[in-house]
Structure 1
Amino acid sequence: MAKTPAATVEVGTREVRVSSPDRVVYEATSATPAITKLEVCRYFAAVGDALMRVVGERPTAMERWPDGWREGMRLAVGPQDRDADGFYQKRLPRGAPDFVETVRIAFPSGRTADELCPTEPAALVWAGHMGALTFHPWPVRRPDVDHPDELRLDLDPQPGTGFADAQRVADVTRELLEELGLRGYPKTSGNRGVHIFVRIQPNWTFDEVRHAAIGLGRELERRDGGVTTAWWKEERGSRLFLDYNQNLRDRTIASAWSLRARPGAPVSTPMTWAGLAEVGDPRDFNLTTVPDYLADGDPWADMDDRAYSIEPLLRLWEELPGGELNWPPDYPKQPGEPPRVQPSKKVAEHWDSDGNRIEQ
C-alpha cells in the first residue's frame, strides 16, 4: 500500500507539515469516531490561542504516543523503561523547526535540559505531529524559571470515589479560597479528577508553594471528611487525595485543553464554577466537542488579570497541626520529613526521632 503523503495544517501565518496524517491515534468508541493524527493536529490549531494562554512561555514536557494510543498501552515510568508505548519528552528533539523555542530548566538532581517553550500555536501543532497528546507545563515562565506563578491543586479520586466526589470537594475548595481572598480556576482532569489553578505572584519558591498547598489541604480535611493529604495510599481510604507534591520543581499537571491518553480522546477542560457543578460525565468534553464549547468563550480568559499572594495559605501551613509531609522518592531527604517507609511496614525501634533508619 502506498504511503499517504504528508498534509499541512495552517496555523496563523504558518503551514505546519504533518506526516502520516491518516494514522489512527484514537480508536472509535460508542461516543466518538476514530481520530487520526491530522485531526489531532487540527484540534491543537483550533484551540491554539486558548492553549497558549496556559502553556505560553512555560517549560513544557510533551507526553508523546508516536504510534497513537490504544487500551492497554503503557506510559514509561523512567528513562530506562524502553518497552513502553508512550513517554515524556523533556528535552526538545533534534530537527525541530526554527519557530519552536526552548528554555533551560534544572531538575532536582541538578541536571539541566532545554525544554519546549511554546511561543506560538504552531509549536503546539508541530508537537502534535510528533505524537504529543498531552502538554505538561511547569508553573513558571521564562525568564524566571525558579519562582512559580501558579498554585496547582490536584483533587485525585482514590478507589471508592469518583468525579462526583471531586465536584463536591472542588466546591468546598472554592469556598475556602474565596474566604481567603483568592480566586481559583477549575478544570476537569480528563479523567475522574478536578484540577484547580490559582494565579499567584512569583515571589515564592517551589517549597513555599508546596507548603501553601499543604496548608490548604489540611483546612479542607477539617471541613470535609472526604479529603486527605496522606502520602501513603494505605492511609487514604475512600477519600480524595490532594496531591500537594504537584507543586514541587519538575512536577507537572496536564495542561488545560490537552488531550488525554484515554478512550474517546477526552480533554482536560477549563470550566466556570457553575459549569463544573453541572457536568455529568467529563468524557463528554473531548476532541470532537471541545472546539464548539470553546467557541462560546474561554472560562479562563481572565486568569492573568490578577495574581494573588499565598500568605493566607502559608498561615494555614504554620497554624494547623501536622508538620512536614513526605517528598517524592526522587528528592533528597528533607529536614523534618517523616520516614520514607509505608506505615504498615514501619518498626518503631528501627527509626530515630528525625525519621532516619537506624542501621541494624
Structure 2
Amino acid sequence: MASKSAAPAIEVAVGEHTVRVSNPDRVYFPETGATKLDLVNYYLSVGDGIVNALRDRPCMLHRFPKGLPGGKVHQKRLPGGAPDWIPTVELYFPRYGRTADELCVEKLADVIWAVQMSTVEFHPWNSRRFDTEMPDEWRIDLDPMPDCPWSRVQRVAEVAHEVLDELGAVGWPKTSGGKGLHIYVRIAPEFGFQDVRRAALAFAREVERRAPKDVTTTWWRKDRDPHQLFVDYNQNARDHTIAAAYSVRGIPQATVSTPIAWTEIPEIHPTDFTIKTVPTRYAALGDLHAAIDEAIFDLTPLLEWANRDNLEVDLDEET
C-alpha cells in the first residue's frame, strides 16, 4: 500500500515578504493533531504580541524538525539557508570561545520563517541588540518544584505582586506554558547581568521571608523541598533564556506562555491557554503586555537590599 504523500508547500504572505512553508500537514503535536500549518496560523493570529515580546532581542530557538516525537534541537546559531532579510545579532560565548549569529526579530515574517524552520518555542535574551551586555528586563520566574500545587503558585504570585507594589515596580505576569508563572519588569539598561541577578536575588529573598512555607531560594535542587516554589533569580544570568510571551511550548497539549492580568491569577490554570484557545483570547483582549515599555523601574532599591544583606551570586551557578 502506498504511503500518503506529503501536502505540497504553500506560500504565506507576511507583510512585505513571502514565506514558503514546506510540509504544512506535518503533525507536530500528536496528542492534539496540531500541524506545522496550525503553528504558523497561531503565530499569525498573535503577530503583534509575539513581535513585541521578541523585538531586537537575541533569540534562541527550540526546534522540532520532526514534531515533538522527533525530539528538540536547542538552536543558538541561525539555521542555514536564511533569506537576506532575516535579521541577526552576533554574540560572543566565553564558555565556548566563539561567536554565533542569533535571530533578532524585527517583524512578523521573521517569526514565521523560524516556524518554517521547525521552531516551536522562542526564547529571547533579556537584553537587546543595541547593547547585549546590558539587560532591560528583570525576570521573576516562579518555578514550582515537582510536588508544588498550582494553588501555591497562585499564593506566591500575590506575595510577589505585593512586594513589587511596595517597590513601585510594575510587574507584567504571564503563564510559563508549563506549571509556573513568569513576571517581567522593564528596567533601564544601566546595569550588567551580575547586578540584575543580585537585585533579583534580593527580591526573591524578600518573597521567601514573607512566605517561608511556600517559597525557597535554595540554589541546589537536591536541597529544596519538593513541595515548595523556587523563585529562580538566575534566569537573569547572561545567555539564560525563558519562553517569550505568546511562545508555544513543546509539550503535548501545545500550551502557550500567555500574558495575563493580575486579577485573573486566582481563577486560571496554565492548561487554559493553548494554540487553540489563545487566538480567540487575543482577538478579544489584544496584547496585555503592549504597554510594557512604558513602565521603567530603577533597580537601585533592590541593589541596596542586596548590599545590606551582603548578597552575591556565583558566576558558576548552574541548574
TM-score (norm 1): 0.83
> Quick one: distance in 2 between partners of 1:244 and 1:207?
11
Does structure 1 residue 97 correspond to structure 2 residue 83?
Answer: yes
Of residues 245, 248, 266 in structure 2, which corresponds to 1:259? 248
Flag the 1:48–1:268 CA change in 2: closer, same or farther, 3 A: same
* Structure (1 or 2) with the greater strand fraction: 2
* d(CA) in 2 for partners of 1:319, 1:236: 25
Q: Which runs of 5+ in 2 are unaligned?
A: none
Which of residues 265, 273, 296 in structure 2 aligns to 1:276?
Answer: 265
Q: Deviations over 1:300-336 (max 9, x none)?
A: 1110112111111112212236x434444579xxxxx
Structure 2 CA distance, aligned partners of 1:114 and 1:17? 22
- What letter matches 1:93 in structure 2? P
Greater CA drift, 251-260 or 5-14: 5-14
State how 1:200-211 maps to structure 2 within 5 Å: 200-211=187-198
Counterparts of 1:232 and 1:171 in 2: how far apart (Å)? Answer: 25
**Which residue number in structure 2 is paired with residue 25 of structure 1?**
28
The answer for unaligned runs of 5 or more in structure 1 is 74-84, 332-360
- Give me the whole-angstrom Cα distance separating, in 1, the residues matched to 2:189 and 2:88: 21
1:123 to 2:106 alignment:
no
C-alpha displacement of 1:283: 1.0
Conservation of the 8 A alpha-carbon contact between 1:215 and 1:318: no
Residue pair 2:198, 2:313 contacting (<8 A) in 1 also: no
Matching residue's letter, 1:269: T
Q: Read off the aligned partner of 2:288 and give its amino acid letter.
A: P
Query: C-alpha offsets along residues 113-153 of structure 1, whole Å, 9 cap, x if unaligned?
Result: 11000111011111111111110100111121110000001
Q: Distance in 2 between matches of 1:239 and 1:89?
A: 32
Q: Which has the higher contact order (CA 8 A, sep 6+)?
A: 2
Structure 1 residue aligned with 2:223, among 221, 235, 239? Answer: 235
Q: What is the letter of the counterpart of residue 60 of structure 1?
A: C
Whole-Å separation in 2 of the counterparts to 1:239 and 1:313: 24
Give 1:339's aligned residue: none
Structure 2 letter corresponding to 1:24: V
Give 1:162 deviation, angstroms.
Answer: 2.6
Native 8 Å contact 2:175 2:260 kept in 1: yes
Per the alignment, residue 51 of structure 1 pairs with 50
Q: Secondary structure of the equivalent of 1:278?
A: coil
Q: How does 1:178-217 map to 2 (within 5 A)?
A: 178-217=165-204
- The alpha carbon displacement at 1:287 in A equals 0.2
Alpha-carbon offset, residue 101 of structure 1 = 0.8
| Other-structure match for 1:60 | 59
Deviation string for 1:144-177 (max 9, x for gaps)? 1110000001111012203221121111101101
In percent, how many aligned pairs have the same letter? Answer: 46
Q: What SS does the aligned partner of 2:68 have?
A: coil
- 1:194-343 equivalences under 5 Å are 194-225=181-212, 226-237=214-225, 238-279=227-268, 281-295=269-283, 296-320=285-309, 323-328=311-316
Q: Of residues 147, 170, 174 in structure 1, which corresponds to 2:134? A: 147
AA partner of residue 233 (structure 2): Y
Question: What whole-Å deviation, never above 9, does each CA across 1:171-191 have from its counterpart, x for those lacking one?
Answer: 110110110111110000001
Q: 1:6 aligns to what?
A: 9
1:108–1:250 CA contact under 8 A, matched in 2: no
**AA of the residue aligned to 1:8:** E
User: Which of 168, 172, 177 is the matching residue for 2:164?
Assistant: 177
Partner Cα distance (1:6, 1:163) in 2: 42
Q: Distance in 2 between matches of 1:162 and 1:113?
A: 39
Preserved CA contact (<8 Å) 1:211 1:314:
yes
Deviates more, 1:205-214 or 1:44-53: 44-53
